[in-house]
Chains A and B, each alone.
Chain A
Amino acid sequence: MKLVGIAGSIADQSYNRTLLNFMSKHCEGVVDIEVLDINQVPMFSQDDDQTNSSVIQKLSNKIKSADGVIIATPEHNHTVPAALKNVIEWLSYEIHPFDGKPVMIVGASYHTQGSSRAQLHLRQILEAPGVNAVVLPGNEFLLGNVKTAFDENGDLKDQRTIDFLDTTLQKFIKFAKVINMIDADDYEKEDLSATGKTDTTVEGVDMDDPDWLNKAAEKVNAVEGDTYVKLDSGLLTVNQLNYMLKTTPIELTYVDENNQFIYYNRFLPTEKMLAKRTPDQVGDSLTAVHPGKERVIKHVKQVIHMLRSGKTDLVSMPVPGGDSDHHVMHYYKAMHDEEGSYKGVNEWAVDLKPIVNEYLKQTGQMLVPDPNAKVDATSGASKKPEASVDATASASKEETEEIKPEVDATSSASKH
């Protein structure tokens, strides 16, 4: 589970930040808590809408992709700090990342009251319609007399306090799971027909047109040939880019955030590809590349929703029906811009078996069955992966087998 923590203070020295950092450290391995920084957030003003600024987009994206939020608030003048309220105002004006999000409130203060009144105000604020967070009821964690609560390593000293914090956090983790289940079928809203548009969508060209590439390129005056393109770590011409991508021995596919299939690296002729694509498919919506395959469509929606919502950064799936010479894997990696906004899927297909064979040959080893293995090792021995035109983000060979996407547990904890 992935949580983000917001310390409600922008003071240089903040015990609420110390508390969150302690929770993050203390719960390592159980839950991933990333503490966010709100120091650079400008003053909210309706006259100067900065919703699209990098600092606010980053916060919003972090919150959106988290399973829950922990807010640690001090108390100032019987309420939450203006700096914290300010962040919530930005995040409830034009965008609403807290909507439906499980939130846990904790607070530290210098006084015996431990931010009790600020926490009550914060509950009211988080319940406002524009915010609409789902706050864990009860379970108040008030850390009073905070100056003496931590040791020099920033660890809480009192074991009973730690135990209580653990119990509260355990309840919150369960609470977050339950609340997030309410949105479990949100994936159905994924629009695979790509009827929406993003700032890079080429308008005025039919997506399903077999000649989409040429027509769309003309429309946007795309550069080609020996024109230079400046990349973030290199300078190449379009030709050079093509040379490199076409000799990259992995089948690469780009699906943008609008679910439009806009590129593949065509290093093999279609009939030799592990996941068949044809040049005339480029530009198609994902619905168009999966005609009439309802179950496949459902899986594609699930995979893309997981990546878009940030539940995971990487989904990996073996293609069923491999034999002893082939083990084809499909990987779906979420792409993000600098602010962490979802930019689409980088999908790649690769046959792992030749790589394993090479390794065995070089190191003089051989494969033997693992008697304790839980996978059905024999089932795949019948035939090669079927040559179905199964372009982009399809989760199963055909509609015959239902495969649960395996979420890569280690990659989901990564920070982008």
Chain B
Amino acid sequence: MNKFIAIVGSNSNKSTNRELLKYMKKRFQSAAEIELVEIKNLPIYKKSADKYVPQEALDIAAKIEAADGVIIATPEYDHSIPAALSSALAWLSYGIHPFVDKPVMITGASYGSLGSSRAQAQLRQILDSPELKARIMPSSEFLLGHSLQAFDENGDLKDEKIIKQLDGLFQDFLDFVNISKQLNNANEVNKQKAKEFSWDKD
């Protein structure tokens, strides 16, 4: 069975993005093992001369390395992903490269009607950067708008149409992960390139 790491993109105790990932973990338990990962204890990203990375980030990196894929649920703050998530991704690409060629599914929930659309668009660009170089599932937006009203008391999505869309996208992601496993001819080179790249290099 595939194993996925699900990153909660919010550092808030009350997060419908966490709820969404919890729901996915439950709903798809027969198809994949999903482990939720929190970013809220990571400090804000800062470069240092000795390229120090906090242990907590190293632990998350190891989990991602070992996983078959990653699911990210992002809220939208000011038209983009939260600083906390941006900071986590910066740690997870600072001398370590767990995301290279890793299949990623992007989801997101928001209180308003847009469901984090702009944050997701930026997140795609970010995951495509040289030190992350994730393999993002294409053409697969999942935007959960009005997320406060979306779940029932058991934490299950209420709207059948939305459930159907999520089911379909998750099946696609499983296929995408399987196809990805056959597309690893350049993986070594890609990892090397990520290692050699630096935002600080001449």
Contacts and interface: CB of A to CB of B under 8 A. Distances in A.
A336 B130 CA distance: 47
Interface in A73-110: 74-83, 85-86, 88-89, 92, 109-110
Contacts of A109: 199
A78 B12 contact: no
B199 A110 contact: yes
A78 B129 contact: yes
Interface residues of A, number: 38
B87 interface: yes
Interface stretch (A127-135, A183-191, A300-308): A127-135
Most-contacted residue by chain B among A42, A77, A117, A130 (CB, 10 A): A77
B44 A86 contact: yes
Nearest to B132: A77
B90 to A, nearest CB: 6
A81 B45 contact: yes
A43 B78 contact: no
A163 interface: no
Secondary structure call for the B interface: loop
Nearest to A77: B129
B46 A11 contact: yes
Interface string A336-361: 00000000000000000000000000
Interface stretch (A44-52, A152-160, A201-209): A44-52
Interface in A1-31: 10-12
B118 interface: yes
B128 A78 contact: yes
A74 B199 contact: yes
Interface in A282-328: none
Interface residues of B, number: 37
Contacts of A80: 86
B77 A45 contact: no
Given A117-B125, A124-B118, A79 B86 contact: yes
A45 to B, nearest CB: 5
B185 interface: no
A110 B201 contact: yes
A125 B78 contact: yes
Interface string A40-63: 001111110000000000000000
B106 interface: no
Nearest to B11: A45
Nearest to B92: A77
Contacts of A147: 202
Contacts of B126: 77-79
A416 interface: no
Nearest to B93: A77
Nearest to B80: A125
Contact of A77 (B43, B84, B90): B90
B113 to A, nearest CB: 14
Interface in B30-56: 40, 43-49
Given A81-B86, A82-B87, 17 more contacts: A10-B46, A45-B84, A76-B90, A77-B199, A78-B126, A78-B128, A79-B86, A79-B125, A81-B45, A83-B45, A83-B46, A83-B83, A86-B83, A121-B122, A121-B125, A124-B118, A147-B202
List the 5 closest pairs (A to B, CB-CB), nearest first: A82-B87, A86-B83, A128-B78, A82-B86, A78-B129
Interface of A: 10-12, 42-47, 74-83, 85-86, 88-89, 92, 109-111, 117, 121, 124-125, 127-128, 130-131, 145, 147-148
